[in-house]
Structure 1
Amino acid sequence: MADYYTLLTDAGIAYETACKAAGTPIKLSQISVGDGGGAVYNPAATATALKREVWRGPLNALFQDEKNPSWLLAEVTIPPEVGGWYVREAGIWTDTGILYAIVKYPESFKPVLATSGSGKEFYIRSIFETSNAESVTLLIDDTVVKATRAWVQSYVADELAKLDRKQSVRVATTINVVLSGAQMIDGVAAVAGDRVLVKAQTLAKDNGLYVVANGTWARAKDADVSAEVTSGLIVSVEEGTTLANTIWQLITDGVIVLGTTALTFQNVTQGFAPLNSPALLGTPTAPTAPVSNNNQQLATTAFVQRALGNHSSVGGLDASTVLTADAFGQSLIINSANPVNITLPKASSGFNGGTITLLNVSTGTATIVLQGTDYVAGIAANQLVLRTMDSITLSTGAGITWYAENGLVSGALSTAFNGGVRTVLDKFGLGSDAAKIPLITDFSADIKPGLYRAFTLGHPEASIGGPPETSVIGGTSMTVLVGGGYLTSSYKTFLAIINLNANSPTRAYIGHKVTAGEQPIWNEIAQSVHLPYRAKVYYKAAGVYQWTVPANVWKVFAEVRGGGGSGAFGALDTGAGGGGAGGVSNRLVSVTPGSTITVTVGAGGAYVTAANTLGNPGGSSSFGTHCSATGGAGGLVIGGAGAGYGSGGDFNGTLGAGNPPVRNAASNGAIGGAGGGGESIFAAVDTTTLTQPGMGGGGRIGTRSQAGADGSVFITY
């Protein structure tokens, strides 16, 4: 037997046997030292305690020998503050207090500073053999034991190996390789000892970190167990034709079992995208550049939307506000019942072409104020006032200039707006003072771009060269928008909207002329009945009615026709005249929702049956007190009857007088004349009923005359 040794005690062997039978681990927890009773002796397996124990403490470490798996190594460090005795024996104890092994130790003195004048740590390592070393468990108290240098080094190495950031590799594979022997990898001759990132194996479970060997490669020590290979592992590549100076990350998620789980590595050199030709994934973001930028900065979706003319956002203003450069690109909704001032940012704070849109949706006026020497081209200062539902888009030019691009504004704007955008719409019930809009009487003149009004044939101020509208019922107004200067200074384009009476369509024409002094060439582009009205009410039977103005209706267009007179009844030698048609009156009327208006429809004159009898007159029609039309007169025996006439309207006129009798060529006989309005024709006997409101009845001979048609009131809104 060796001079110094470790023996399993009989009690220890019995304990080990019992643990094997029960399938429980052998639990060792403490080590003790003794002085052998004052002398060196040879411990025996029968011992159950040390001869004289001088110190006991927890084991620092207990592990298998790397070369002899059945050997166990037990370590302890005795602290410097205890001692003053010799160590000649040691014992290893189970957690139940059984002396598992006893050690004969070389006689050594353990000094203590308090009595010996010096102190030191005392390190003991004991090696003993067991039949089942893998079943032995070390029970220690981490707060009591003192770590050895070897244990610390081993522990630190193990913990470092578990970190995601690994020691760099020399090269990384780009294709499937044989994991054996020295070889060329990505243009580099990999030799024994080189670390390699293997990431392109056909069987992805074989990917990972390896160390090159002349034989079979082994996984690197910091990545050779599952606990050291986790999702997020990162490793840098030092060399290579294609992968030098790149960084790779393990992106396999979940629990990884090394050698079983497929491992996938991704290049994250530039944060998931290489610097050259990046292939971006997910939803990458970037700063949004000003619309005026003209460089190689990335264009975000926000930049593109602004560049396409969309608003960057919609904001609200409910009080006087001084806008900043952040307002460029915005649509700002003004909502204040009180007057407010909206001060524009300095034109120079934006960029050439930057726009701001303003819309006033409340009852308070909004005055647009300029800063410093800024001005709006073509508009005097303080003339930009937005009233209810007024809007304007302003754009910046160079330096101090703003431009009014488009909008609907009550105040004077620019030559292009011509001071009357709202008033032009008076015919549609949206404004007032339409007469203030400049009048076009000759389209061949040099007409500047802007908004105008004009008239069709039949009006005293009928326009020469206007659209080919031939209505002669008093003439019809039209609204004309003129643009020009796109090709030459004399080039002009025209958009004409013609509003006839309520029974006729609104017509739209496009015209153009190239040379100054010539008349435009016109083309009709659209017809839309009764624009811009939403509904209509038609009263055409004689009587008195009460009409209630619908909700949200503030303007109505009323056309009133008086009843037609009946024709006269005459003899063959004298004939009989036709009855006169009723008058007509049209008016755009301001109304109040919910109010009631009396509507009166005049009756047509009744027919007559007695010979040589005058016809009966038609009754008057009216729309409240706003406008009215008298009925046509009854037909005369020897002549036509007079027509009724309108009053109170924007347009007042008649539908036509009755016609006199028609004599034969020999002038020795006659028949009845046609009634006013043109629907009836002369005939010896005619008992048909007229269908058009206000038409006069025809004069007749024989049985009876023709009755006049009832009048009508036609309301559109």
Structure 2
Amino acid sequence: MAIDKSYYTIITDVGKAKIANASVTGNKVGFVKIQLGDGGGSEYTPTESQTALKNVVWEGNIGNTTTDETAPNCIILESLIPSSVGGFMIREIGYLDDENNLIAISKYKECYKPSIEQGAVVDMKVKTVLIVSNVNNIELKIDPTIIFATLKDIQDLETKIGTVNTKIDTTKTELTSNIETAKTELNTKIDQLIAGGSNVAYTQRVAIDDWVEDAESGFKATVTHSLLTQRIVVNIIDATTKENIVPNFKIVDDNSIEIRSEVKVELNVYVINGNAETHFINATVDDNRVSEMTTYSSKKIEDRLVNIEEKVNGGLSNIATSVNELITYC
């Protein structure tokens, strides 16, 4: 099918001169105004020597002046004819610069632009493509108050909005989950901190097999505790001799320390929370939290009960002896 070339756009002699002169002066040609004309009542063939339309029926500002991404030498002029104007035929279109010079003129396929009074509300978009020798001589501009959107543009935008909304929903879900996880972890730490007996001290037996070679000090072993702090007091007791050993350790993080020794030996390592109040330490009875030297550890309580039992048994024995002696005397 042959292309209909009955309707076209030409650059006027004034327009050619201005565009050519822009290369010398550096003053770019700016397309500012658009004029619609009815051709004086019929179609005609525009000429390059024209300096004005035959009969202007409407004038407004050009919306956007851009380049064609697929054709570098093409300038695209877009304008919106508002629904508030109409009641005329369109057969010619003129493009003017900021000095009201007619730069380009189009032979437009005859159409009627209705008015609101005639019962039709129509926004009309006019798009013209100009081929120029040097696009750099043309001033490109976009009017932010005029928006052009095809159905595909709107559909693409809706798709992008849907994608963004999905990402937002996903991010909100992940954020909510992360917040809840952080809250749970924080509450757990708070519970541990305020529950004196459960976050006061920790005891761990370091067995022979727990030691690993260390180039600096012979051997090292890791003690993992639940005190959630690096402010700690460490006491180390030889599990066999029960003698106190001078602590040689390094704090790794809030939950672990690394102890060092020149030889492999079984040790009882007692880690005490330096933030805990003294009465919490004295009150606990959990041997996994405190040492045997703690005032009220279960070991101390057991020893005390045995002592009381011995005294009671001794008292009962004395009473029995006294009763027997009384019976014998009687």
User: Structure 2 residue aligned with 1:142, among 141, 144, 164?
Assistant: 144
Contact between 1:58 and 1:141, CA under 8 Å: does it hold in 2? Answer: no
User: Structure 2 residue aligned with 1:395, among 276, 280, 283?
Assistant: 283
Q: Tell me what 2:95 maps to.
A: 92
Q: Tell me what 1:300 maps to.
A: 228
Contact between 2:37 and 2:53, CA under 8 Å: does it hold in 1? Answer: yes
* Cα separation, 2, equivalents of 1:13 and 1:120: 34
> Deviations for 1:32-66, whole angstroms, at most 9, x for unmatched residues?
21111222111111112211111122223333233
Shift of 1:127: 1.6
* Cα separation, 1, equivalents of 2:274 and 2:84: 82
Contact between 1:61 and 1:151, CA under 8 Å: does it hold in 2? Answer: no
SS in 1 for 2:47: coil
> Counterpart amino acid of 1:301?
T
SS in 2 for 1:20: helix
Higher relative contact order (CA 8 A, sep 6+): 2
* Cα separation, 2, equivalents of 1:15 and 1:301: 79
Q: Tell me what 1:122 maps to.
A: 124
> Counterpart amino acid of 1:133?
V
Shift of 1:131: 0.7
* Cα separation, 1, equivalents of 2:130 and 2:66: 11
Residues 151 and 119 of structure 1: CA distance in aligned 2, closer, same or farther (over 3 Å): closer
> Counterpart amino acid of 1:49?
A
Query: Pairwise mapping of residues 366-377 of structure 1 onto structure 2 (< 5 A)?
Result: none
> Deviations for 1:608-635, whole angstroms, at most 9, x for unmatched residues?
xxxxxxxxxxxxxxxxxxxxxxxxxxxx
Contact between 2:33 and 2:96, CA under 8 Å: does it hold in 1? Answer: yes
Instruction: Work out the percentage of aligned pairs sharing the same amino acid.
Output: 26
* Cα separation, 1, equivalents of 2:79 and 2:226: 65
SS in 1 for 2:19: helix
Contact between 1:58 and 1:140, CA under 8 Å: does it hold in 2? Answer: no
SS in 2 for 1:128: strand
1:4 maps to 2:43: no
* Cα separation, 1, equivalents of 2:225 and 2:102: 78
Query: Unpaired runs of 5+ in structure 1?
Result: 169-233, 237-246, 248-267, 276-283, 313-328, 331-352, 356-393, 399-404, 407-484, 491-717
User: Structure 2 residue aligned with 1:354, among 265, 280, 294?
Assistant: 280
> Deviations for 1:487-515, whole angstroms, at most 9, x for unmatched residues?
x859xxxxxxxxxxxxxxxxxxxxxxxxx
* Cα separation, 2, equivalents of 1:30 and 1:151: 27
SS in 2 for 1:38: coil
Residues 300 and 29 of structure 1: CA distance in aligned 2, closer, same or farther (over 3 Å): farther
SS in 1 for 2:23: helix
* Cα separation, 2, equivalents of 1:20 and 1:117: 49
Shift of 1:152: 9.3
> What's the C-alpha RMSD, in Å, of the aligned pairs?
4.5
> Counterpart amino acid of 2:74?
W
Q: Tell me what 2:16 maps to.
A: 13
Q: Tell me what 2:108 maps to.
A: 105
Q: Tell me what 1:33 maps to.
A: 36
Shift of 1:85: 0.3
* Cα separation, 2, equivalents of 1:310 and 1:32: 86
* Cα separation, 2, equivalents of 1:81 and 1:98: 26
Shift of 1:11: 0.9
Shift of 1:141: 3.9
User: Structure 2 residue aligned with 1:310, among 274, 297, 301?
Assistant: 274
Which structure's CA Rg is the greater one?
A: 1
* Cα separation, 1, equivalents of 2:7 and 2:46: 10
SS in 2 for 1:69: strand
Residues 77 and 300 of structure 1: CA distance in aligned 2, closer, same or farther (over 3 Å): same
Query: Pairwise mapping of residues 543-622 of structure 1 onto structure 2 (< 5 A)?
Result: none
Shift of 1:107: 0.8
Contact between 1:36 and 1:88, CA under 8 Å: does it hold in 2? Answer: yes
Query: Unpaired runs of 5+ in structure 2?
Result: 200-223, 234-253, 255-270, 287-293, 296-302, 309-330
* Cα separation, 2, equivalents of 1:141 and 1:99: 20
* Cα separation, 2, equivalents of 1:61 and 1:9: 20
More helix by share: 2
> Counterpart amino acid of 2:280?
G
* Cα separation, 1, equivalents of 2:59 and 2:70: 30
1:58 maps to 2:61: yes
> Counterpart amino acid of 2:92?
E
* Cα separation, 1, equivalents of 2:76 and 2:13: 20
Q: Tell me what 1:153 maps to.
A: 153
Contact between 1:30 and 1:92, CA under 8 Å: does it hold in 2? Answer: yes
Q: Tell me what 1:587 maps to.
A: none
* Cα separation, 2, equivalents of 1:298 and 1:56: 81
SS in 2 for 1:15: helix
> Counterpart amino acid of 1:6?
T
Shift of 1:91: 1.2
* Cα separation, 1, equivalents of 2:284 and 2:135: 87
**Equivalent residue pairs, number:** 211
> Deviations for 1:643-662, whole angstroms, at most 9, x for unmatched residues?
xxxxxxxxxxxxxxxxxxxx
Contact between 2:66 and 2:142, CA under 8 Å: does it hold in 1? Answer: no
Contact between 1:36 and 1:50, CA under 8 Å: does it hold in 2? Answer: yes
> Counterpart amino acid of 2:125?
Y
> Deviations for 1:357-410, whole angstroms, at most 9, x for unmatched residues?
xxxxxxxxxxxxxxxxxxxxxxxxxxxxxxxxxxxxx63679xxxxxx88xxxx
Residues 68 and 308 of structure 1: CA distance in aligned 2, closer, same or farther (over 3 Å): same
Contact between 1:6 and 1:102, CA under 8 Å: does it hold in 2? Answer: yes
